[in-house]
Amino acid sequence: MVYVVLVVLWGEALPAVAGKNLNYKLGSYGMMHTRVREASQVGDVDVLILGASDAYRGFDTRIFEQTGYKTFNLGSSSQSPLQTRWLLHRYLDALKPEIVIYTVTPFVMCSDGVESSLDLIANEHIDLGTLNMTLRVKNVKPLNTFIYGSYRQTFGLDDAFTEPKETDEDLYIPGGYVQKKIADYNENFKAVLGGEDLKYNERQVDAFFEIIRTLNDKGIKIYLVKTPVAHYDAYNHPLWLAIEKQLKETAPYFNFNLPPLGFADSLHFSDQYHLNQAGVVKFNQLLIDSLLK
Amino acid sequence: MIFNSIEFTVFFSVFFFLYWFIFQRSLRLQNVLLLVGSYFFYAWWDWRFLALIIAGSLINYWLGIAIHSTNDAVKRKRLLWLGVLYGLGGLLFFKYCNFFIESFVAAFTLLGVKMNASTLDIIVPLGISFYTFRTLSYLIDIRNGKSEPTKDWIAFFTYVSFFPTFISGPIDRARTFIPQMMQQRIFRYEEARLGMQQILWGLFKKLVIADNLSTITAYAFNGYEELPGSMLLIGAFSFAIEVYADFSGYSDMAIGFSRLLGFSVTKNFDFPYFAQNIADFWRKWHISLTSWLTEYVFTPLTIAFRDWGQWGIIAAIIINMMVCGFWHGANWTFIVFGLLQGLYFIPIILRGKLNKKKKMVKGQLLPTWKELLAMLSTFTLIAITDVLFRCDNITQAIGYYKHLFSPTLLSNPILSHSFILTLVLTLLFFVAEWIGREHDFALANVGFRWPRVLRWGYYSVLLFLIGMYMNTSETPFIYFKF
């Protein structure tokens, strides 16, 4: 009890920088606050997009709508299978998709799930399901954030918050897509896959297969997709090759990095992991032509 | 199963319940439970080496009885050597084999002879340096008539594998541990409370101080070629405090868990960074190892070199410190680290002050300027030498020193918010250590006479500080690799 009180006091009294393991940020990087509120009102959809930032920055719902597919993009920052499972549990029955497109990266399979859980705790409605997801992450940071978030939501302290739909860099598009306004390729934002100490997180792998089972049980068609990245050669890592092999055995898997698709760094990317709008248009049309049509 | 894991919390809770509530009626059963629990704890890490522990315990148990039962001095000596060869042989094979192969090849390459020798793919059994020293002291003490062998094999096997201290010490002597196995243990609330406090303080040291400092240390040591000397100095200080908080935090937890089981275990640290010279520092640092080395390496060497006067003592201390360095790991960095530590003793020995214990500043709120200067210079010397301890090889250490002692040493270091927060926490940690320096551990006397509500409030605050400021990425204990 003393612990709970101290977390609340700390969150209220001290600047964010002083609360190392308390990270409650409303309206975070991927505009999740707006997205989840829209998700609860949008109704039935044809296509549901799931995944990390490559999902919410890579699938323009307007392009899907133009070809007759009502689409909702439920991607979120660093969304790992632990959070995807929770989001599905919360929104699957409301959205009733016929098709799910689920983006996969080696990072989320190895992720501890902390960053994404913080995003969801701060921007979603907190309930027992949130507590369950928080505990499964097994990290004190989401737990502190959950305690503080519960307090704020209980006393309605965030009710007046409205997330801006447009920032200097991003524009929120109804349906959950976030369009990057800057088209230039930022070469400095680079990470080499082999340079990181990648290791399977068993909890993420278990959650991933549970997601596939859930979708299969409900008769929902699922496509696993690797979105284009600027330096796919960096993905030549034994772990990613092993993950890919497993993905192919699990569900229809499409890798949009293989030749001759012709995505070019300066033309189609804003950084190593994300497409710019020109890239998104090209990628989405390719995807719709090859998968949905 | 590390102390700060959920697995260990569950294991210890179940064990504690069985130990005090089910098996308490019979000392024998309680001891059997201790042995089974210790083997379970070890098997959780790697069950394959359990056979090695059991075989080692069996051989040393038998050797202990054999040494004691014969009056033939030559036979006693041979039996002891058998035990020493077995213990050190295992240590040399598992821990140092590849080091010797690589050094051998490097030496021949220097002489212009090309050699093709491949290293072996060896997994070092966890805790090998610690339990080997435990068994060695047991046999040497029996041979020297300082203690008698135990006939209770469960007591001996538990002494070798006692789970709170098995992985990283403290290295208890059989003569202090085994008698505790023979006495009915009574649960004492005061002792358990102290144990819990010490565990909590150990957790704070490890999770908040050591693990957060590890980020600064890693930043400095991984990027030393690009960073200014001032940042490298902070990195060196950071590592010195990290290694202290990490290892003394572990020791506090080990001692705390032992206390909860009714055992008194050797104190391992006595606020070493308040030491005022190098000899004083080594009397306060990793006490169970340094006292072991003093008894079984340094003292015999000073006797052997007694004809050389002060230079005999100097030779003995240099060898002793090099053994101490080499014990930490199979790397030249540790040997050079030990050599330097030995050399630092020379002025003290030449002034005849080796055995003069510097009194800890007692009863004063603040040290005098002279004391403060002595403490800071000792700490700086240790921190600078610890660079060798942290580097992967001598080349890296030389590179680090070159960049550290460059004109950029006087530049302004660039510190992020999280670095500054860590430094503030470290400063508060030292204040707590300073205030509690006359006790077993910094918080030993805090809340001793407080009402229960206040005391629990204080525990909660400490728990909160751990929860709010711990480093959330898993960082293994530094001394586990030794």
pLDDT in tens, B191-228: 999 999 999 999 999 999 999 999 999 999 999 999 99
Average pLDDT on B152-156 reads: 96
The tokens for B403 are 């960049």
Is the peptide bond preceding residue A260 cis, with omega within 30 degrees of 0?
yes
Nearest beta carbon to residue B469 from set A2, A21, A139: A21
Q: Give the minimum alpha-carbon distance from B222 to chain A in angstroms, rounded to a whole number.
A: 13
B453 to chain A: nearest residue by CA?
A2
Q: Which pLDDT belongs to residue B422?
A: 93
pLDDT at A190 over 70: no
How far is the C-alpha of B223 from the C-alpha of B225, rounded, in Å? 6
What is the SS3 assignment for B223-269? Answer: CCCCCCHHHHHHHHHHHHHHHHHHHHHHHHHHHHHHHHCCCCCCCCC
Mutate to test the interface with A, among B472, B473, B474 (most CBs of A within 10 A): B472
Contact in structure between A123 and A26 (CB atoms under 8 Å): yes
Between A78 and B111, the higher pLDDT residue: A78
Are B468 and A17 within 8 A, CB to CB?
no
Separation of alpha carbons A48 and B216, rounded Å: 43
Residue with tokens 């080496």: B49
Highest mean pLDDT pick, A40-54, A231-245, B97-111: A40-54
Long-range CB contacts (within 8 A, 24+) of B68-73: B68/B142, B68/B148, B68/B149
Q: Please enumerate in sequence order all residues whose Cβ is within 8 A of that of B400, keeping only pairs 6 or more positions apart, or say none.
A: B221, B224, B232, B387, B391
Q: Which residues contact A96 (CB under 8 A, 6 or more apart)?
A: A44, A45
Planar angle of CA B240, B244, B245, nearest 5 degrees: 115
Tokens in use for A96? 């009733």
Other residues' Cβ atoms within 10 Å of the Cβ of residue B71: 7
The set of residues, in sequence order, having a beta carbon less than 8 Å from that of B448 and lying 6+ positions away, is: none
Whole-number pLDDT of residue B91: 86
Question: In the structure, what pLDDT confidence band is assigned to residue B480 with cuts at 50, 70 and 90?
Answer: low
Strands A177-180 and A170-173: antiparallel
**Look-up of token digits 């358990």:** B192
In which band, very low, low, confident or very high, does the pLDDT at B2 lie, cut at 50, 70 and 90?
confident
Q: Up-side HSE of residue B434: CA atoms within 13 Å toward CB?
A: 13
Band (pLDDT 50/70/90 cuts) for residue B356 is confident
In DSSP terms, A180 is beta-bridged to: A170
Chain A residues within 8 A of B470 when measuring between CB atoms: 21, 140
Tell me which residues of chain B have a C-beta less than 8 Å from any C-beta of chain A. 6, 417-418, 421, 456-457, 460-461, 463-464, 467-470, 472-473
CA of A150, closest CA in chain B: separation in Å? 17
Query: Does the pLDDT at position B479 exceed 70?
Result: no
More confident residue, B102 or A82: A82
Confidence of residue B41 (pLDDT cuts 50, 70, 90): very high
- Which residues of B are annotated as catalytic? 328
CA distances to B10, B269, B437, B455, B457 from B443, in Å: 25, 14, 9, 12, 14
B86-137: pLDDT as tens digits: 999 988 888 877 777 777 777 777 777 776 666 666 677 778 889 999 999 9
pLDDT value of residue B180: 96
CB-CB: which of A2, A17, A139 is closest to B472? A139
**Percent of chain B surpassing pLDDT 90:** 73
pLDDT at B481: 59
Minimum distance, in Å, between the CA of residue B260 and any CA atom of chain A: 24
| Per-chain mean pLDDT for chain A | 87
What pLDDT does residue A71 have?
94
Tell me which residue of A98, A118, A126, A108 sits closest to A53, measured CA to CA.
Answer: A108
d(CA B244, CA B33): 33
Q: Is the pLDDT of residue B65 over 60?
A: yes
Nearest CA to A74 out of A124, A23, A149 is that of A124
- Distances, alpha carbon A24 to alpha carbons A5, A116, A118, B285, B340, in Å: 16, 12, 7, 41, 49
pLDDT class of B478 with cuts at 50, 70, 90: low
Q: Do B468 and A143 touch (CB under 8 A)?
A: no
Query: Is the Cβ pair A20, B418 closer than 8 Å?
Result: yes
Give the one of B417, B463, B470 whose C-beta lies nearest to A17's C-beta. Answer: B417
Is A13 an 8 Å CB contact of chain B?
A: no
Q: According to the model, what pLDDT value does residue A193 have?
A: 55
User: Per DSSP, what are the bridge partners of residue A226?
Assistant: A255
Task: Write out pLDDT tens, residues A259-272.
Answer: 767 787 778 888 88
A114-134: per-residue pLDDT in tens?
888 999 999 988 989 899 889
The pLDDT value recorded for residue A215 is 94
Under the banding of pLDDT at 50, 70 and 90, the label for residue B352 is confident
Q: What is the pTM of this model?
A: 0.85
Rounded average pLDDT over B13-33: 95
Model confidence at B141, pLDDT cuts 50, 70, 90, reads very high
**Cα dihedral B366→B371→B373→B377 (10° resolution):** -120
pLDDT at res. B364: 83
Nearest CB among A17, A18, A140 relative to B472 is that of: A140
pLDDT value of position A167: 86
pLDDT, tens digit, for every residue of B395-431?
999 999 999 999 999 998 888 888 999 999 999 999 9
Share of chain B above pLDDT 70, in %: 96
